[in-house]
Amino acid sequence: MHGLLRKSSERGKVLSVKTGSNPNSSSLGVDVTLLLAAGAAAGLLSFLGGSLIRWMRWGKGPGDRD
Amino acid sequence: MIPFVKLQAVGRFGKSMARAEPFGATIAFHKPEMLVMVDRAMALQLGVADFPAPQPGSCATDPHAPYEAHLTVGRNCSVGCSACYIDAGQGRRGPVDISKWEAILERLAQMGVFHVAIGGGEDDELEDLIHLASKARQLGLTPNLTTAAWNVTPAVAKRLGVFHRVHVSMDGLGDTYRQMRGHDGFARAHTGLEILKAYHPHVGVNCVVGRRNYEELEELFSLLHGLKISEVELLRFKPTGRGRALFDSMDLSHDQYDHLVKKVLKLAFRYRVRVRLDCSFTPMVCAGGYDPSVLAKLGVAGCVAGSWLVSIDPEGGLSGCSFDSEPVGSWTDLGKPGLFAKFSNWTNDPPMPCGDCAFLDICRGGCHLVARHVTGDFEAPDPSCPIVRRWSESGR
């Protein structure tokens, strides 16, 4: 319960979420489909991203990518 | 060296990677596929502590290293599109220097780049592209490909599985395709798309939107719906390569620019196709009346050349964007500070009306290469931005 009540400034926040990956070798593409429900989509994505991150636990620690 | 922290998600979300940034961290997920940018407080909880200093003149949201790199490995091509931005053509075959491109991939991996989009002329050796994609995978990079798909067979499609996503260039159906690309290649592209869809899990279409195919976009969306293709990326016509001479006849009209975003969202909803708009369309997204904070949260970004992305041409020239035909140096300069100052410093002293625009940090002036072509001034605001046009028309 304590964790849930911590201030958001302590927990940190999601700044942005970029979905998918860009297949195009000439410019940067951004998924705009979510603009159909802009405000709700942004909130939902931030919630999803934040939840996933908080759910994660440490792996091998600092080091190289594999 | 960029500090990384490996993260282990629970259950089916698999491994993820957190990369330290000046603002906090970027976390790359594979399932669901997304990049999540978090502030320092959240990054600290993930074990990311060594935050790199921001590049001089950069925006607060700029990463320490690019999110993606665009690699054009060659210019040999028999397809011969009339507006090819890399001016590819027949007889331009030079052996793809595999060792050079492997070294480039290693450098990009060291920098912490997440995605690479590999392209080139259609006749560049497929084996070379597949080899480089395999190398990218080994290095932890995610490779993607865009192709005209003229030479795709079931055997080829299976081998292209090494790419995470494969998109087919298709600017319309039938005669619209011919008008946009200057040759009658729709049937071959359509066949290639069908084969890819049968053998590859992530297939989509790239469509350059110009004055000649704007009204026919619904036909394309309908086709994609029928083929169960779930993603299309729409690209603005650029005045680069052979496209420079065609730009005036291909560039969208003001009315088309004004209605583009609403039109494609309507089509996305009707045909259940996800739409990606390229960075140069960001001024039109911003002019759509959305809250700037919502656009920022959704990762909408205008000219992020040299910060979010970099481009390397067949000769190894390094640019902030594939459409900038003036490389700032060689790929060996990757990571040097200040290389892309003309892009990254633009928001520090923007001209009006961008200086007063609520979307400045998102849009960053729109496409500077279009601005340079149309106005002769790289520093000018994007001349097709609806906000810029309204401001100009108001006589201020």
More confident residue, B124 or B135: B135
Q: Shortest CA distance to B109 belongs to which of B136, B80, B77?
A: B136
Q: Which residues of B touch A40 (CB under 8 A)?
A: none
User: Is B368 a member of any domain?
Assistant: no
Q: What is the dihedral of CA B343, B211, B383, B284, to 10 degrees?
A: -70
Q: Which residues of A touch B238 (CB under 8 A)?
A: 26-27
Cα–Cα distance measured from residue B283 to residue B94, given in angstroms and rounded to the nearest whole number:
39
Instruction: Choose one of B289, B304, B338: the last residue of a domain.
Output: B338
Domain that holds residue B21: 8-45
Name the burial class of residue B335, with classes exposed (0-12), middle (13-18) and buried (19+) by CB atoms within 10 angstroms of its CB: middle
Q: How far apart are the first and last CA of chain B?
A: 48
Q: Shortest CA distance to B18 belongs to which of A5, A31, A60, A2?
A: A60
pLDDT at B9 over 80: no
Claim to verify: residue B116 and residue B154 sit in the same structural domain: yes
Token pair, residue B30, equals 């594979």
* Total domains present in chain B: 2
Interface with chain B: mutation pick from A9, A27, A47, highest number of B CBs within 10 Å: A27
Return the pLDDT at B117: 94
State the average pLDDT over residues A5-21.
Answer: 76
Cross-strand bridge partners of residue B278 = A29
Return the pLDDT at A60: 42
Claim to verify: residue B12 and residue B73 sit in the same structural domain: no
Q: Which residues of B touch A35 (CB under 8 A)?
A: 261, 265, 285, 288, 290, 298
Question: Amino acid identity of B71?
Answer: L
User: Is B50 a member of any domain?
Assistant: no
Q: Shortest CA distance to B141 belongs to which of B174, B175, B159, B118?
A: B118
Q: Do A25 and B117 touch (CB under 8 A)?
A: yes
Nearest CB partner across the interface for B7, out of A17, A39, A59: A59
User: Is B392 a member of any domain?
Assistant: no
Q: Which residues of B touch A27 (CB under 8 A)?
A: 235-236, 238, 278-280, 321-323
More confident residue, B159 or B89: B159
Nearest CB partner across the interface for B166, out of A23, A52, A53: A23
Beta carbons within 8 Å of B51's beta carbon, 6+ residues apart: B20, B21, B22, B24, B40, B43
Nearest CB partner across the interface for A16, out of B118, B274, B298: B298
Label residue B155 by pLDDT band (50, 70, 90): very high
pTM of the model: 0.90
Interface with chain A: mutation pick from B276, B364, B370, highest number of A CBs within 10 Å: B276
pLDDT at B362 over 70: yes
User: Is B122 a member of any domain?
Assistant: yes
Residues of A (1-60) whose Cβ lies below 8 Å from B: 9-36, 38-39, 41-42, 45-46, 48-50, 52-60
Claim to verify: residue B30 and residue B113 sit in the same structural domain: no
Claim to verify: residue B131 and residue B273 sit in the same structural domain: yes
pLDDT at A3 over 50: no
User: Is B388 a member of any domain?
Assistant: no
Return the pLDDT at B24: 93
State the average pLDDT over residues B193-210.
Answer: 96
Q: Are B184 and B176 in contact (CB under 8 A)?
A: no
Nearest CB partner across the interface for A28, out of B140, B269, B304: B304
Instruction: Name the strands in the sheet holding B24-29, side by side, starting at the edge strand that comes first in the sequence.
Output: A14-19, B34-39, B24-29, B15-21, B4-8, A57-62
Nearest CB partner across the interface for A29, out of B61, B233, B268: B233
Claim to verify: residue B17 and residue B94 sit in the same structural domain: no
Return the pLDDT at B120: 78
Q: Are B205 and B173 in contact (CB under 8 A)?
A: no
Cα–Cα distance measured from residue B6 to residue B25, given in angstroms and rounded to the nearest whole number:
12
Instruction: Choose one of B298, B315, B338: the last residue of a domain.
Output: B338
Label residue B7 by pLDDT band (50, 70, 90): low
User: Is B269 a member of any domain?
Assistant: yes
Q: What's the CATH code of the domain at B316?
A: 3.20.20.70
Cα–Cα distance measured from residue B151 to residue B168, given in angstroms and rounded to the nearest whole number:
12
